[in-house]
Amino acid sequence: MPSSQTPFHSPDFYGGRLTIDLAAIAANWTVLNGKLDGGAECAAAIKADAYGVGQEQAGRALSGAGCRTFFVAVPTEAFDLRMSLPDAVIYVLDGLFPGTAEHFIQHDIRPVLGSLCELREWTGICKSAEKNLDAAVHVDTGIHRLGLSPAEFSAAMSDADLLGPFVPSLVMSHLACGSTPAHPMNRRQLDLFQEVTAPFPHIPRSLANSAGILMGPEYHFDLVRPGIALYGGKAIDSEPNAMKPVARVEARIMMVRDVPEGDTIGYGARQSATRRLRNAVVAAGYADGLLRRASSSDERPGGFAMIGGYRAPVLGCISMDMITLDVTDVPEELLKRGALVEMLGPSVAASDLAAYAETIDYEYLTSLGRRFERVYAPLI
């Protein structure tokens, strides 16, 4: 008998399959880059394992499309990315953790300095080394997360004793309400960012995320940092999503059964059959990133899947390892044991599922589990 340590990678052993279209990632970057008519550089946010689709593979696809600058969240992501993209410019959005500066320098990683404490530490190193070491400075324009206040930024940038030889390679801020272009917060942040950075025209500036790119050239400045749009997500709530879908999740049918009218389905008996139903049980659940909040009940509808062009609503509570679907109106030949059902993909947009789960498509993409067979197309 094989050892319990023997890895089994046959598709037959997985409850589902996650297919990542790397060509779609590259195509989405090319579309966004084409919207930059003012000479801005199109970078890429590749944090959280490239929004769940695989940092190494997505990074190579983006690099092949022409992307040269990447943003990650934490140092470990940066060090991993450096191994696959040795020539890329890599920024760490969460900044300079204590005791990490020498590793940033050794691996040519650029922290995004988001506080006076971080700025003082980095400029102190620059003064000791008697040279400029590349890093970005984050100025907070109203989101009140990371970033120097406008007053702190202006004072620091005018303090030659503090800065020494350090000149930021980038000054950046982040939009709080980009997904809603008409929100007045966008204009307030834009005006404040222009005001505080105007005295330093020699330093490149960055404000726009995916939504900011779509909001027009005045938000583009010198560099844009798309994230969700690269991975097929919806950047602006009120507009159709023009990005190509990237991730496709399919779950395996384990069995199909009859549910008598009046019986309940799933944990908590939250949903009753209003007619005689056919119920398909598929091998994926919230442990795989298919969020429990998209469950169905007698009070509210839940998410849905697609089977050969037929919509199959979720029935009852999504559990850890399985989901039940209403397949009453799906032809029997499509419901064979072992057949794969589309849970997310071209026919089931992450933004649509997110609406049922009262969340955003970011959470769906970054929650995709590791129990799926993971397939990259084209293979690299």
Residues that are catalytic: 47, 267
DSSP bridge pairs for 259:
277
The amino acid present at 98, given as its one-letter code, is P
- 97 class by beta-carbon count within 10 Å (0-12 exposed, 13-18 middle, 19+ buried): middle
Residues 6+ apart with CB under 8 A from 194: none
CA end-to-end span of the chain: 33
Main-chain phi, psi angles of 348, to 5 degrees: -135, 85
> Are the C-beta atoms of residues 94 and 103 closer than 8 Å to each other?
no
Of 117, 80, 79, whose CA–CA distance to 95 is shortest?
117
Residues 59, 49: Cα–Cα separation, whole Å: 10
Cα dihedral 198, 199, 201, 202 in deg (nearest 10): -150
In this structure, are residues 315 and 348 in contact, taking their beta carbons and an 8 Å threshold? no
Residue 180 contacts residue 238 (beta carbons within 8 Å) = yes
Burial tier of 351 (Cβ tally within 10 Å: 0-12, 13-18, 19+):
middle
